[in-house]
Amino acid sequence: MQPELYLMIDGQPEFNVKDKLPFVDYMGLDSDNPVVANNYQEFTGQDGSLFNSSVIQKRTVNLKFYFHIDNYPDYRNKAHQINQFFHQKRIYRIRDNSEPALVQFCRPTTFPIQPVDSGSHDCTISVPMENPTGYKFSRYDSLNQNDLWDDYPLSWDVPIIQAEDYHFQDEFSFQLLNPGGVPVDPYAERHDLKIYLDWSGPLISLRNLTNSSSYAFYGQNDHNRRIVIDGCETYQDGAQISEQTDFGSLKLEPGFNHIVVGGCRHFEARFKFPFIYV
């Protein structure tokens, strides 16, 4: 399979890098392994260390390219085009056909452009792209999935799920799937999680029995208002109304999460979040 690289710059439409740099051949990527940093505390006069915390740090993804040059002016011209393309102070969303369902959000750093040997007419480039989150994300979020069975390798054991599997109506106890390998935690890790809520009753509460995280909104509703829980904040028509909540937040563990809804007679909920992987 010939490697192909797809980029999206600052949210603009995605494109194949070959369409922008037709003289360049993409050779794949490397060095995208997770970077885990453990923090320990030392005690004078005692052996060993006490574990404090563990975090996923930024990783560097190296994009490998090859191109041919005819002469020195041709080299300078192509090097200029490559520099103009990659040395921008923007966010590059990276996706290649080896993992077509996953993307990384990166920023390019400095790299040399030079022939493989003195006098050679062939050049190879390794473009380091810094991924500050350290994560890979699903190409589509939960409300924009078609059929994950078509996008993910079978060995990942991802069930057949669609966007409607994240839409619940009058199911006061249900299973919510997080197919990612990382807990979705908007409070501790500032992960993206939006919940769209509409209900009938004096209040609405959500509780994840899998990890005991919870959220409650205190306010009468008769299906004439819709609120949006965006991370740890709550909004209605763009205005923040978090003071009407218990300032809680839901955390979604990898796999199925048992969610129970209370305080209302009827409700409708939609859960929107990207799936996160290391």
Residue in the structure block whose two tokens are 């369409």: 19
pLDDT for 146: 65
pLDDT over 70 percentage in the chain: 94
Would you place residue 223 in the very low, low, confident or very high pLDDT band (cuts 50, 70, 90)?
A: confident
What class is the 5-134 domain?
A: mainly beta
What integer pLDDT is reported at residue 99 of this predicted model? 87
Give the pLDDT score at 160. Answer: 65
Cα–Cα distance, 195 to 138 (Å, whole number):
18
Neighbours of 153 (CB within 10 A): 9
150-277: CATH topology is Jelly Rolls (2.60.120)
Q: What is the mean pLDDT of residues 204-230?
A: 94
Rounded mean pLDDT of 35-53? 90
| Per-residue pLDDT tens over the stretch 19-33 | 999 999 999 998 678
189: which 2 tokens? Answer: 């890790």
100 or 239, greater pLDDT: 239
Averaged over 186-201, what is the pLDDT? 95
Average pLDDT, stretch 142-155?
A: 61
Q: How confident is the model at residue 157 (pLDDT cuts 50, 70, 90)?
A: low
How do the domains of the chain map onto residue ranges?
5-134, 150-277
Torsion, CA 62, CA 140, CA 184, CA 169, rounded to 10: 180
What value does the mean pLDDT of the chain take?
91
pLDDT in tens, 50-94: 999 899 999 999 999 999 999 999 999 999 999 999 999 999 999
Q: Enumerate residues 6+ apart whose C-beta is below 8 A from 225.
A: 198, 219, 236
Give CA angle at 106 (102, 110), nearest 5°: 140
pLDDT of residue 104: 95
Q: Tell me what the mean pLDDT of segment 224-253 comes to.
A: 95
> Are the CB atoms for 191 and 276 separated by under 8 Å?
yes
pLDDT band, very low/low/confident/very high, at 159 (cuts 50, 70, 90):
low
Residue 154 confidence (pLDDT)? 42
Please check the confidence at residue 155 and state whether its pLDDT lies above 50.
no
User: What does the buried/exposed string (b/e) look like for 201-226 if buried means 16 or more CB atoms within 10 Å of the residue's CB?
Assistant: bebbbbbbebeebbbbbebebeeeee
Q: Say how far apart CA 200 and CA 220 lie, in whole Å.
A: 7
The arithmetic mean of pLDDT across residues 107-129, rounded, is 92
pLDDT (mean) for 31-58: 88
The residue with tokens 């809804």 is 261
